[in-house]
Chain A
Amino acid sequence: MIHPNSSRRLQTSLRIIQIIILAVFLLFLGRLVQLTVFEFDTYNPISERNSIRQETVNPSRGLIFDRNGVLLVENTPVFSIHVTPIDFNADNVPLLAYLMNIPEESVTNALQRARNFSWYRSSRMFSEVEFDVFSRIEENIWRLPGISHQIESKRVYPAGIRAAHVLGYLREVSDADFRSTNIYRLGDKAGRTGIERTYESYLRGETGAQLRRVNAFGQGIGPYSDGMMDRSPVRGANLQTTLDAELQRLAEKLMEGKVGSLVALDPNNGEVLALVSAPDFEISRLSGRVDRTYLSSVISDSTRPMFNRAIATRQPPGSTFKPMMGLVGLHTGLVTPQTTVFCNGGYVRGRLYRCTAIHGNQNLEEAIMNSCNTYFFHMMNRFANTIGLNEWHRYMQTMGLGRLNGIDIPSEQRGILPDSTQMDQIFGRGRWGLGDQINLGVGQGVVSATPLQMAIATAEIANGGYWVQPHVVRAIHHEYGEIEYANPTKTRVEWIQEKDLEPVRVGMRRAVTEGSGRFFANLQSVPTAGKTGTAQNPHGRDHGWFIAYAPYDDPQIAIAVIIENGGFGSVSAAPIASLLIEQYMNGEVRRQNLLRDMLNFVPRESTIQR
């Protein structure tokens, strides 16, 4: 069928085809060698980059415990959405907004914020997204290059105590903060108030890095080289506070619905057992993503819930000032324990300074017990005339009044404790006189104290004249078992002597057993010493004060309470302090009726001055 000579041609043709195929295959082999051997260094890094992504691992923030190991603050997982602007396609904004169920504008704004930070680094777009939103994003992550998600943590408060003014809340770091430091990323949270702020550097821990293998869609699919190159985060240090959870809880309950504050200290070392400022706020609603309506309601509240009254209020201490006055009087020799002053219902010096009653002859002990103003007007008058206001100022200041005592909670205020310079500033040079000073003797006029300062002064009376540094954190437990103990100072107030303390203590003891404290503060189970105060308030109801320590012969707790507009200290502040002492010393409150009454306590208008 085919010509014989064409058969030979066929053979030749087949050979030609073989040669062509061979040539092409050699080309392929050559290309393979080129790629795998000579261009290996070009392409291998691409493959590594392709498959590895560095992710930040947030350390878990340190936990906070009370003095007995009760967990006060812990972390719970929350979900957040991150963006790397360079990889994110702006066309996906509507999709992301749809998945997040928020207006596109919010997405655009968040994206812009991230871009302002960096085009190339991942930053947090949305914090604390709902779980179902989070899972919707996760399902669609392949449609959203540049978007990633993370599980982070949020503070929760399992003990059922608020301690808003002690613990403080976290907030996203400000632009300025994270630009000036290198430790935060956009959207990181840092302590804004309370010990969360003071101990931020301990609680925060160290950020770790994790290398993850990712696929072409950016889905993380496991660790890279079994995590050998990962830098694990260092957990933040745990704080052991000096708070007593039970006491704090009761204190908060008692202060609820009132305006005021209290501080309870261990008089021997300055440990803060409870610290409440009322009204307070829910830190859990301000930690992390801010509940804006709640925040604005807290800020606009006229009672100023954010204001930490316990360490920053400026209220005159009233009669609770008298024990300290007594110490100063005894030390300076203006009075002796036996010195008596006749109280005729007031003290006349240029004008009448009223007393609460006609007490007759009063020595110091009795003057404290009965809260006799006349005695202390008299003493202050002599002090101003013979020793001078500046010495008075110095004595009081060494006790911890009118100055910062260095508690480890931010925004402590020194308050007002005048010397002559300050008097000049307040009234004008030479325009103040004896009348403005006599008032100071009973804690009125241009003098203020915070419950913290009063509690410290009370502690000094209780502990034999030692100023103790107030502190909330007792120990810092680092991750690897290392413990750093707080080292608060305890210094002797050199002018306070044991012999001078005795009549003051007895006076305070008798104030509870026989004086104004006898109704609500005289605990059968725990011998208590205390002093009530009712500070005049030109703007409304008087403020009720009470300072106390217990047990009388072996003080374990020193406490100062102010109930603003509470009227008499003896009926507003004293029962609260007394209930707390009962709780702390006995571990329970037996006077349930009193407790119930105090929970429902509505401050009354006071009719009698002091």
Chain B
Amino acid sequence: MNIAWYKDFDWLTVLIWVAITAFGLVGIYSATLGPVSEFLPAHIQENFAKQLTWVALSLVVVIVIQFTSPRSFQQLSYLFYFVALLLTASTIFIGIEVNGAKSWLDFGGIRFQTSEIMKIAVILAVANYLTSRRNIEAVNLKSAMVATSMILLPVVIIILQNDTGSALIFLPLIPVMLFLSGLPYGIALMMISPAIITYASIISWQYGVAATLFFTLVIYLLQKRPWLGITSLVTGLLLVVAVNVALTDILQPHQRNRIEAFVNPFQDPQGAGWNIIQAKTAISSGGIYGKGFMQGTQTQLRFLPEQWTDFIFCVIAEDFGLIGGGLAILALLLLLMRLLSNAVAMKTPFAQLVIVGVVTILFTHILVNLGSVMGIVPVIGVPLPFMSYGGSSFLANSIMLGVCLNLYFRQREMSPFA
């Protein structure tokens, strides 16, 4: 570390981190310690204090991370990966079940969700793998397969934990990380397209077909390979059919309800549509200026389940309206943009890949969470990074951020010319 280290440190990111965390804490306070919180169970009323403790702990961890050499991330990445994998796998046998997902480990009373730490481990390991070999440029099918497997392995384990929502978060890493390390645009697009085609098909099959045709055209234009276009077309159409078959025949009624509720929540306002209606109502009724701190009726009157976790944005938007909700979204956007521009400015591919991986994970969380509460995607329970109540999530996200800060702060040590 040189003398003027503070000039190299990314203070802006820290500032944004503080701002987002503050939004989250205010929301948690409002949701759990409001004027009628005596109707909440006692352990819920302690959530604010607990979250504050986790924030303090995370701050310490982030600071400690700054003292490690960035090279050690690269060197220890596989070890991390295997340890994290073991921990995650162990929950299947010795884990604690919370809300139906057996994804928690108990360390003397402190519960930790192992899939959270898996995220940074996967990013580091895959980034290390993709940058440590010559000519990975994902045209090399074998290395692409290996990288993909490294990501899919924890996904399978987490699905076995019965925590599909958390598992889905990993999937976008595959196209993004491969794309960054040389996967052609068309192929990357082809890997992303199924998600979008599925989304469109859920709304209506016509949209699904339109999306398929659009992607086929773009992929063909990018790669100029007929077989790729045909594959894309066939895959896309099969997907549209598959989604419709799944919706009518395969899915369990409660899963189907959830998807139908997304398309038309008012079909079953008391059941599957409840969360969507109440979330939209909470956000909408906040209006431009909001109802005021701890004045949001939807929040205070508990029309949303567990609003201090996945529905925290509703709390913020209801209390502080368009202005507060908009600022929260802008802060998140600013964080991602800042991280990405750091990546652009850097010279080491490993660091760039790690940062993009972190951004991908955070972005996926934000996309699914905000999409759910604003009725853009079906409700999938994932937390909003740095805002939702949840200690392990907050700590894991902070570690990811700490690693990114470290890689930027001490990038010279990583330079091949250093």
- Secondary structure of the A side of the interface? helix
Q: At the interface, yes or no: A1 with Cβ under 8 Å from chain B?
A: yes
Interface residues in A, total, Cβ within 8 A:
44
Q: Mark B338-371, 1 if CB is under 8 A from A, else 0.
A: 0011011001010010001001100100010011
Is A32 a contact of B374 with CB atoms below 8 Å?
yes
CA distance A398 to B281 in the complex (A): 76
With contacts A47-B285, A221-B39 known, is A29 near B329, CB below 8 A?
Answer: yes
Known contacts: A2-B349, A37-B322. The answer to whether A28 contacts B374 by CB under 8 A is yes
| Residues of chain A lying within 8 A (CB to CB) of residue B256 | none
- Stretch from A38-46, A164-172, A318-326, A444-452 at the B interface: A38-46
CA distance A224 to B317 in the complex (A): 22
Chain A, residues 140-172, CB within 8 Å of chain B (1/0): the string is 000000000000000000000000000000000
Shortest Cβ distance from A217 into B: residue: B302
Q: Are A17 and B280 in contact (CB under 8 A)?
A: no
Find out whether the CB atom of B182 lies under 8 angstroms from the CB atom of A46: no
Say which one of B42-50, B87-95, B129-137, B227-235 lies at the interface with A: B129-137
CB distance from B188 to the nearest CB of A (A): 9
Closest beta carbon of chain B to A540's beta carbon, Å: 69
State whether B288 touches A36 (Cβ < 8 A).
yes
Chain B residues near A47: list those with CB within 8 A: 281-282, 284-285, 297-298
**A148 to B: closest C-beta gap in Å:** 16
Give CA–CA (A29, B332) in the complex, Å: 12
Residues 267-307 of chain B, each 1 if its beta carbon lies under 8 Å from chain A, else 0: 00000000001101111111110000000011011111000
Interface string of A230-269 (1 = CB under 8 A from B): 0000000000000000000000000000000000000000
Cross-interface CB contact of A31 among B36, B135, B302, B376, cutoff 8 Å: B376
Main secondary structure of the interface of B (DSSP, over half): helix
**What band does the interface of chain B fall in when counting residues whose beta carbon is under 8 Å from A?**
35 or more
What CA separation (Å) do A219 and B137 show in the bound complex? 61
Q: Are A2 and B303 in contact (CB under 8 A)?
A: no
Considering the complex, give the chain B residue whose CB is closest to the CB of A44. B285
Contact status A32-B132, CB under 8 Å: no
Q: Please, how many angstroms separate the alpha-carbon atoms of A515 and B283 in the complex? A: 94
Asked if A35 lies at the interface with its beta carbon under 8 angstroms from chain B, I say yes
B24 in the interface, Cβ–Cβ < 8 Å? no
Q: Is the CB of A46 within 8 A of B283?
A: no
Which residues of B have CB within 8 Å of A427?
none
Using Cβ atoms and an 8 Å threshold, which residues of chain A touch B370? 28
Give the distance to chain B from A2, nearest Cβ to Cβ, in Å. Answer: 5
Q: Using known A-B contacts A32-B322, A50-B297, determine if residue A22 contacts B333 with beta carbons closer than 8 Å.
A: yes
If the complex has contacts A1-B349, A15-B344, A50-B297, are A21 and B333 also in contact, measured as CB distance less than 8 A?
yes
Cβ of A483 within 8 Å of any chain B Cβ, yes or no, is no
Per CB-CB distance, the 10 closest pairs between chain A and chain B, nearest first, are: A43-B284, A47-B285, A51-B297, A215-B301, A36-B322, A25-B333, A35-B284, A221-B36, A44-B285, A216-B303
Interfacial residues, chain B to chain A (CB-CB below 8 A): 35-36, 39, 131-132, 134-135, 137, 176, 179-180, 182, 277-278, 280-288, 297-298, 300-304, 317, 321-322, 325-326, 329-330, 332-333, 336-337, 340-341, 343-344, 347, 349, 352, 356, 359-360, 363, 367, 370-371, 374, 376, 416
**Interface CB pairs A-B, < 8 A, 29:** A2-B349, A10-B349, A10-B352, A13-B180, A14-B340, A17-B356, A18-B340, A22-B333, A24-B363, A29-B329, A33-B326, A36-B288, A36-B317, A36-B321, A40-B287, A42-B284, A43-B281, A43-B283, A46-B277, A46-B281, A48-B285, A50-B298, A50-B301, A50-B303, A51-B301, A216-B278, A216-B302, A216-B304, A219-B39
Q: Which A residues fall within an 8 A CB radius of B?
A: 1-3, 6-7, 9-11, 13-15, 17-18, 21-22, 24-25, 27-29, 31-33, 35-37, 39-40, 42-44, 46-48, 50-51, 213-217, 219, 221-222
